[in-house]
Structure 1
Amino acid sequence: MGEGLPAELRSWLVRAGFPDDLVLTAMHRGLGSTAMWSFQPTPEAPALVVRMFGVDAGAAAEREYLAMDAAARYGVPVPSIFACGLVERRPVLVTTFIPGEPVTQALQAHPERAQALGVAMGEALGRLHEVAAPAGLTETIDAWIDRGGPALTNVRQMLKNVPGQDRLIHLDYHPDNVLVRDGRVSGIIDWENTMAGPPHMDLARTQAILRAAVLGNLVPPQAHDALARFERGLVAGHAQVIGDDPSPGLSAVWGLGMTVEDLTSQAAKSGGVISQALVDRLADERDALLRTLATDDSLDRASRG
């Protein structure tokens, strides 16, 4: 049956044309409400993945569908969509299974390759940012600004002036959501946060996630050096494709802002890995950067366009 598989989902899969004796294997799930299982329709067929989103998460599923379709058309390695539907108010996507291992596992197994893995991940992110966001993700072009939270109100005009706001961005691009095979990125998964926005904000969001992993003791101290080399490679690889960030301080404060907003709800969950102390430390770093931006004359001029 597959551990934790809702009976309604199995019935939906059968109605969608899959065999009723499917063996589904639960896959790793992140901090969100999406559950995943892998399965093989027949012994000869390639493996597929079924993703079940949270209740009434139709907008997130639609964003994911649109983003993966647009990315695939430009050669970005993403899962192909096999089927979609709705089960008990929960959207469902069936996609191809992408071979490879998460970058997290590759870093643990080969820390000496940390910088090369970072470069590969940065280049892949840069290629994604060459793709324009599809219709359906661009209805409110500055919606990405709101993801930084109300603490960024005083730099909102600066953010409005950031170039490239029509690009396709992922916003959850971290080592658990990127797969590698033979040293190359083989797949980018988990597109639930995707929208239109500037490339360097997406990169800064990744850096903020890495920072949260360190501050939250989610990475052992002996791995900090490898993670720092990975991050340097990530930034360099992205710059090779997109160019250097013209306003790194502004990007950093937005990346931290989004991550604070994102993790605040996780910290409220009992027994979770995200603590309020971690959220507070990230907020302190965000606020320190905001104070720096407030005294930077060049950024003040940029805010006036």
Structure 2
Amino acid sequence: MWRILIVGVVNTMTVHVPEYIERLVGQIYEINKLSEQGCTSEVRKILAASGTYLLKSSFDNRYREWLKMEALVLEKLSNQHAIPVPRYYGFFEDDKSSHLIMSFEKGMTLTKALKNAKNRDEKLTLIRSFGQFLHQLHETELPESLNRENDWLEEQLIRAEKYVRRGQTEGSQQLLEQLQSNKPLPVRQTLIHGDCTTDNVLVVDGKVSLFIDVSGMAVGDPRYDESLAIGCFVNEPKCVEVFYQGYQRYRIKKEEYQYFNEGLYEFF
């Protein structure tokens, strides 16, 4: 007999979901919808007999595709310790929804930590930590499980074209054609996060320590990560400067920033 307290759950969570969860993590005590939610999914904290977990659920076809990609990435990384990501526990789906179960990680997003910073020095310390954390990722040995033969940028442009045809993006056909005809010179590919904004890293004990929302993690162009990382403070010279005190691999050029953050990112 289940003894489940489901708090703040809306009707998009169908009745079979707790059953699938219990198959993966054992008896459930509580399911709580978290106050901080993403744009592409619903997020809940699960307290079970075996521990505490995070349930991430998507319902739109495009976002379900991304959630499945995230599940595949986490599963591929489940036996390694070099790349700090949540631990994978399972993925299941039906005709209307997809669900990913992973470890529940303590901490807050860098976006929230920057907002809560007590003073400018604390804010700059967090940004420097972000730069160091991203630098470390880009210097990590490429995991065989995420390596690819195809060119990463070409694959993103193909995906962008598909989204344009389906009407699933804010990016326009005109912008896509500009990106296709004005690609930047290639650089050495590294492991990248693929959506490296301040929303998608967690701060623990005052330091950026964990990547989340890793559906785009792959071997790709590090300038994409770098562009998205500095996007929310690109017009604050001191913040950019301290970011590069941590991230010392390469300083992105204005044209490259515009291509990736103000161009390619519009489609995703």
Length-normalised TM-score, structure 1? 0.66
Q: Which residue of 2 aligns with 1:83?
A: 90
Question: Partner of 1:238 in structure 2?
Answer: 247
Q: Kindly tell me: are residues 251 and 138 of structure 1, through their superposed partners in 2, closer, same or farther at Cα, counting changes over 3 Å?
A: farther
Closer/same/farther in 2, CA of residues 62 and 30 from structure 1, 3 Å limit: closer
Pick aligned residue for 1:181 from 204, 215, 238? 204
Q: Is the 1:63–1:137 contact (alpha carbons within 8 Å) kept by the matching residues of 2?
A: no
1:126 is displaced (CA, Å) by: 1.9
Preserved contact between residue 204 and residue 255 of structure 1 (Cα < 8 Å): yes
Greater helix content: 1
- Give the match's secondary structure for 1:73: coil
- C-alpha separation between the residues in 2 aligned to 1:235 and 1:71? 30
SS in 1 for 2:89: strand
Residues 139 and 64 (structure 1 numbering): CA distance in 2 closer, same or farther, change over 3 Å? farther
2:105 counterpart (94, 98, 109): 98
Contact 1:122 1:236 in 2 (8 A): yes
Give the aligned partner of residue 260 of structure 1.
266
**Distance in 2 between residues matched to 1:137 and 1:91, nearest whole Å:** 25
Structure 2 letter corresponding to 1:199: P
Q: C-alpha offsets along residues 195-218 of structure 1, whole Å, 9 cap, x if unaligned? A: 44211121112333x16xx9xxxx
Matched residue type, 1:49? L
The AA in structure 2 aligned to 1:251 is Y
**Cα 1:48–1:155, aligned 2, differ >3 Å: closer, same or farther?**
closer
Q: Partner residue of 1:218?
A: none
1:221-261 Cα deviation digits (max 9, x unpaired)? xxx96xx644433343222xx2333x442233221113333
Q: Does 1:13 align with 2:18?
A: no
Report the secondary structure of 1:51's partner residue: strand
Q: Give the counterpart letter for 1:175 in structure 2.
A: T
Cα distance in 1 for partners of 2:218, 2:192 equals 6
- Superposition RMSD on alpha carbons, in Å? 3.1
Indicate whether 1:120 and 2:129 are aligned.
yes
Preserved contact between residue 84 and residue 92 of structure 1 (Cα < 8 Å): yes
Spell out the pairing of 1:182-261 with structure 2 (5 A cutoff).
182-208=205-231, 210=232, 229-239=238-248, 242-245=249-252, 247-261=253-267
1:153/1:74 CA distance change after superposition, 3 Å: farther
Residue 23 of structure 1 corresponds to 30
Q: CA deviation at 1:38?
A: 0.7
Structure 1 residue ranges without an equivalent (≥5): 215-223, 263-305
Between the two proteins, what is the percent identity of the paired residues? 18
1:135 deviation in Å?
4.7
Moved more, 131-140 or 78-87: 131-140
The SS at the match of 2:37 is coil
Unaligned stretches of 5+ residues in structure 2: 1-5, 161-170
Per the alignment, in what secondary structure is the counterpart of residue 263 of structure 2? helix
Structure 1 residues 25 and 137, CA gap change in structure 2 (3 angstroms): farther
Question: Is the Cα contact below 8 Å between 2:131 and 2:247 reproduced in 1?
Answer: yes
- The CA distance in 1 between the partners of 2:238 and 2:51, in whole Å, is 36
Are 2:179 and 2:264, in contact at CA under 8 Å, matched by a contact in 1?
no
Query: How far does residue 26 in structure 1 lie from its aligned partner after superposition?
Result: 1.0
Alpha-carbon deviations, 1:55-113, whole Å to 9, x = none?
Answer: 54564234323433449725222101122222445332211111112222322222421
Q: Does 1:159 align with 2:153?
A: no
Describe the shift of the 1:72–1:168 C-alpha distance in structure 2 as closer, same or farther (beyond 3 A). Answer: farther
Partner in structure 2 of residue 49 of structure 1: 54
The AA in structure 2 aligned to 1:130 is: E
The Cα of 1:121 is off from its aligned counterpart by 1.0
